[in-house]
Chains A and B, each alone.
Chain A
Amino acid sequence: MIHLEDTITAMATPNGVGAISIIRISGNKAIDVADSIFKGKMHITDANTHTVHYGKVVDAQNNFIDDVLLTIFKAPNSYTGEDVIEVSCHGNPLIGQKIIDLLLEKDVRIAEPGEFTMRAFLNNRIDLAQAEAVIDIITSRSDASLRGARNQLDGLLSNSVSILRNSLLDTLSFLELELDFSEEDVEFVAKDELLKKITLIIKKIDELLNSYRFGRVIRDGVNVAIIGKPNVGKSSLLNYLLKESRAIVSSTPGTTRDVIREEISIDGVLFKLFDTAGIRLSEDIIEKEGVRRSNEAIVNSDLVLFVNDVEQGYSEDLYDELRQLTKEDRIITVMNKIDLSSKSDLGDGIKISAKTGEGIDNLIDQMKQSTLGSANYSEKSAIVSNIRHFQCLCSARNSLSDAIVSVNQKYSGEFIAVDLRNAADFLGEIIGEVTSEDVLNNIFSKFCVGK
């Protein structure tokens, strides 16, 4: 359901084009939410409308994401007529995505296509003549979702969400049976049984949630940063990977002078390789901008290829710095130039020669393994690739967790039913089904009730 009371966000600039990206947030929580991810000279909750603030965006662990400019437009003097925040960040799609991800953790949802404009219209911010245009935007959305429904990926997801929702409705029917037909001679559900059913549904939802990383990989590709000290062979590795991959997707120079971006496809998975050639980390650097870009690439990568030269040895200090910026399981340690070394102990990591190609297969396997995980996704697996679906599943899961708490606290069925019904509604949003009749229909078909 489109809730006009929700606070919404989306990229306001085209993806990946231009030196600056703008993320727009609109709704009554916009200022509070922006403030919670922003570190500037002052809290923007105290700031005046139409002011611009310089500061940093940080995540929940206080990790630096980007330097940004944040502009405040208070209701009603904004594009939508609601409180609006515009975040101007560096024009790297990864950063934009990261900031949106942070916002989505804070009771903000992704805007539907055309929703900013629609809100603007409903709040008298744009002129009546634009009504038709608004409707076009809205209806093009339904066309798009129609097309989406034909997509196999979405079809598989709908199918498994629908199965989950049905088993949730079954569980709900048991509860409702006890409430509406307590005088009847039917068996009611035991607490243990109820917990078992709910837990099973949570487990299935988790499987779907876990597929989101894979789903995004399929949709957006995997961002891989190649990091290492000078002359460890980063460029050679990049070149070898390009040669090795069966399809070179594109070879465009990066938008910045220093970061090169290449896209390769390996077994249907798109890897976007960011070579940080020419820039170094901390001690070696002179140029502050260089550090920023390098950090940025690491923070926002799904994978980091940490390249070392077997002769120079494993660079522990650089690894420690990497660990500040990304998770351990995202780092693949690579020991390069094994063709040049006579050492018997080549250290830990994947041993390769970017020159001869020795060990590259292992590296590619590891890259796939790290990205896709051990889960065995096939063409027939239901996979979440859409952020809206992901959000609905998260919400459904939260409601089910609430339900478990209520069951354990021995709340009566009507309270637990609220949580289960919410969960069913969230699942229903994914497949476009919301109806209260389902539960009663289920009861009538399964149980002999009625005097």
Chain B
Amino acid sequence: MSNGYDIIVIGGGHAGIEAAHAGAMMGCDVALITMDRFALGRMSCNPAIGGTAKGHLVREVDALGGIMAGTADHTGIQFRMLNRSKGPAVWSPRCQSDRKLYSEEAYRIISNSPNIEIVEESVVEILAAGGKVVGVSTASGKFINSSAVILSSGTFLNGKMHTGLVSTTGGRYGEKPSLGITESLSRLGFLSARLKTGTPPRLKKTTINWEILEEQAGDDSPQPFSYRTDKSVFPFLPQVSCFITHTDDSVHRVLEKGFDNSPMFTGLIKGVGPRYCPSIEDKIVRFSEKRQHQLFLEPEGLNSDQIYLNGFSTSLPANIQFEALRKIKGLENVEMVRPGYAVEYDYFPPHQVDLTLETKKIAGLYFAGQVNGTSGYEEAAAQGLVAGINAAAKIIGKRELVIRRNEAYIGVLIDDLVGKSTDEPYRMFTSRAEYRLLLRQDNADRRLLKYGYEYGLIDKAIYNELKEREIIISKAVNFCNDTKINANFINAHLNSRSLSEIDSTETISKLCKRPELGLSEVLKFVNTTEENRLFARALMENDLVLEQVEIELKYEGYLKRQDDMIKKLEKYESTSIPLTLNYQSIKALSAEGREKLNKIKPRSIGQSLRISGVTHSDIAVLLVYLKN
């Protein structure tokens, strides 16, 4: 086919570049269509990657062979592991990125990929025939054919930006909107709705009084996101700090003056915004008892003269924003480089996609990222990767990739989107994962590397290294369960730490379960045989293994309970339901259950269980019907 590709990816944001990269790695010819080739991987909002739960997603994307983690590692200017004072399951890596370098690195990776062609165009229509996608047409009048189309156009679909009562069309500051795609999809029977998100003003770095602000530095020994990043040369860039300030009453009073001209409060904005990322005006109204709000001053890059004011997202008139900024401690003489704004855009309520992210209506058409109602670079990247893998898998005849909730946050993300849909921008939180204790950032490779390898995104050598590590881990766990420490050796140490002594002997595992004792601390006292001493020493030097073994031993009871729950539900998760099941014909279903099942068309009984309105007896009825 001339002028044709295996896969067309519309949009080169965090979803689009993962999708294109994955498809290309799997051997497909990919066209990445973007309005601006230098906007690839552009960070539209805050210059940061990761954070609670999002950091988990980045690690998972990396284990599957995605590019976000490596890109963040190469362009990060501050790395922190959040929640370090808590248990390992909620540790989350986060970094501040150099916005410009991040985008350049993304462009370097994509443009170096031999199977990707970057096409600078604006898509105006997605074309389908006979229930299958056939390609797209562009603003310049071209038709481009393909077997698959991945729509990852972020906030650009009929994008509209608001600052005060002034609104301009566009998907991002200074960039044009994408027109026509929503309408073409509506004609194909898709449902669309509006969402809204916001961004804060950018400040001029040299006009801030840094001396009086509280500093927040990065970790002393920063850890990279990617398993594949060479730790010996990490971090790659000089590391910088963020700073903290607060709003106060005087700031709030200024902002209130702008409420009459707020596009939010006057009803100009119709889209639904995220509750977890409210604008500053929203915070003042909804939590009026709160006298101050915390703000973070985040550097935009090593050589950038701009500062991102995290926590001050707003769409109030620019003059009000400016006046309020100058009331904030440290910003008395600040210059505003550009005001904050809200952006409204079209999305497609995500119950319209399947767990593979292929749309249920049109074969070969995939949605990823904000078009599915999510927010966040990490959520977008995760979906782009899954959509890219599945689009390519279908073309090259591999099995589809559906990641379960008990395997990854990515599984939770997609299962939530498809099963619950969403009417506000969806963000990942650790509390969304019922198997949170198992889905840790430290074991993303153990959970997902096998899939990355299966689809050709991860090298065999890396996969083999993991397999060897798994053998050592299970040996080490057995070693700790079987090997006893003698009271003569360890009691003096326990005493010195004011911990209770042991009687005669105790296994390593049991000692390690004490909250105060670390595994390597206990291993020092292995003294039964020379062989055991050597094994213990080797284990103490193997950080990757040591960490996994320690977690497994320390939290054994809890981890087992989560494992048991997974086993209990396995039967439901593995009982699949054909997409073609005619729920209308099953009279025994409750009316609400029937309607919800028909809307969502779950793929498994497990998925049905999570749909609100589907009762237990509906599930029983389904089980009986599926048996027939």
Residues of A bordering B, CB below 8 Å: 1-5, 112, 114, 118, 121-122, 128, 131, 134-136, 138-139, 141-142, 176, 178-185, 409-415, 417-418, 421, 432, 435-437, 439-440, 444, 448-451
Contacts and interface: CB of A to CB of B under 8 A. Distances in A.
Nearest to B276: A450
Contacts of A440: 276, 429, 431-432
B566 to A, nearest CB: 11
Most A CB contacts (10 A, CB to CB) among B612, B615, B620 go to B620
A418 B617 contact: no
B302 interface: no
B82 interface: yes
B620 A2 contact: yes
B294 A184 contact: yes
Nearest to B298: A451
A114 B290 CA distance: 55
Please list the 3 inter-chain residue pairs (A to B) with the smallest Cβ-Cβ separation, ordered nearest first: A185-B294, A412-B87, A448-B287
Interface residues of B, number: 60
B437 interface: yes
Contact of A179 (B90, B313, B558, B616): B90
A412 B90 contact: yes
B27 interface: no
A104 to B, nearest CB: 19
Given A179-B86, A180-B53, A437-B420, A415 B296 contact: no
Given A138-B617, A180-B430, A414-B87, 17 more contacts: A1-B616, A3-B568, A114-B620, A122-B627, A131-B624, A136-B588, A179-B52, A180-B52, A184-B294, A185-B294, A410-B515, A414-B430, A418-B561, A436-B434, A437-B420, A448-B278, A451-B277
A5 B571 contact: yes
A99 to B, nearest CB: 26
Contacts of B561: 418
Contacts of B44: none
A5 B617 contact: no
A128 B87 contact: no
B620 A138 contact: yes
A421 B434 contact: yes
A4 B624 contact: no
Contact of B290 (A122, A135, A141, A448): A448
Given A1-B616, A184-B294, A450 B275 contact: yes
B90 A131 contact: no
A435 B612 contact: yes
Contacts of B274: 450
Contacts of B429: 176, 180, 440
A178 B621 CA distance: 41
B201 to A, nearest CB: 14
B270 interface: no
B83 A182 contact: yes
A450 B278 contact: yes
B560 to A, nearest CB: 12
Given A135-B588, A414-B87, A448-B293, A176 B431 contact: yes
Contact of B431 (A141, A411, A439, A449): A439
B89 interface: yes
Contacts of A418: 436-437, 558, 561-562
Nearest to B424: A444
B351 to A, nearest CB: 15
A436 B624 CA distance: 27
A444 B85 CA distance: 24
Given A414-B87, A415-B437, A451-B277, A432 B52 contact: no
B627 A131 contact: yes
A147 to B, nearest CB: 14
Most chain A beta carbons < 10 A, residue from B275, B294, B431: B431
Contact of B555 (A3, A182, A415, A436): A415
Nearest to B570: A5
Nearest to B48: A451
Interface in B425-454: 429-432, 434, 436-437
Contact of A411 (B87, B90, B287, B571): B87
Contacts of A178: 86
B350 to A, nearest CB: 15
Interface string B218-234: 00000000000000000
A6 to B, nearest CB: 8
B254 interface: no
B609 interface: yes
A139 B558 contact: no
Contacts of A136: 588
A122 B247 CA distance: 62
Contacts of B615: 142, 432
A176 B83 CA distance: 12
Contacts of A141: 617
21 contacts: A1-B609, A1-B616, A4-B572, A5-B568, A5-B571, A134-B624, A135-B621, A138-B588, A142-B615, A179-B90, A185-B246, A185-B293, A411-B515, A412-B86, A413-B87, A415-B437, A418-B562, A444-B276, A448-B287, A450-B274, A451-B277
A364 to B, nearest CB: 43
B185 interface: no
B283 interface: yes
Contacts of A417: 431, 436
Contacts of A183: 51-52, 82
Contacts of B572: 4
Given A1-B609, A180-B431, A414-B437, A449 B623 contact: no
A449 B617 contact: no
B431 A179 contact: yes
Interface string B31-50: 00000000000000010000
Contacts of B620: 2, 114, 118, 138
Contact of B430 (A114, A179, A449): A179
Nearest to B605: A4
A179 B617 contact: no
A205 to B, nearest CB: 20
Contacts of A122: 623-624, 627
A450 B273 CA distance: 12
A181 B86 contact: no
Contacts of A138: 588, 617, 620-621, 624
Nearest to A115: B620
A122 B286 CA distance: 52
B84 to A, nearest CB: 10
A418 B561 CA distance: 9
A437 B609 CA distance: 14
A136 B624 CA distance: 11
B619 interface: yes
A190 to B, nearest CB: 15
B261 interface: no
Contacts of B276: 440, 444, 449-450
Interface in B506-542: 515
Contact of B52 (A5, A182, A437): A182
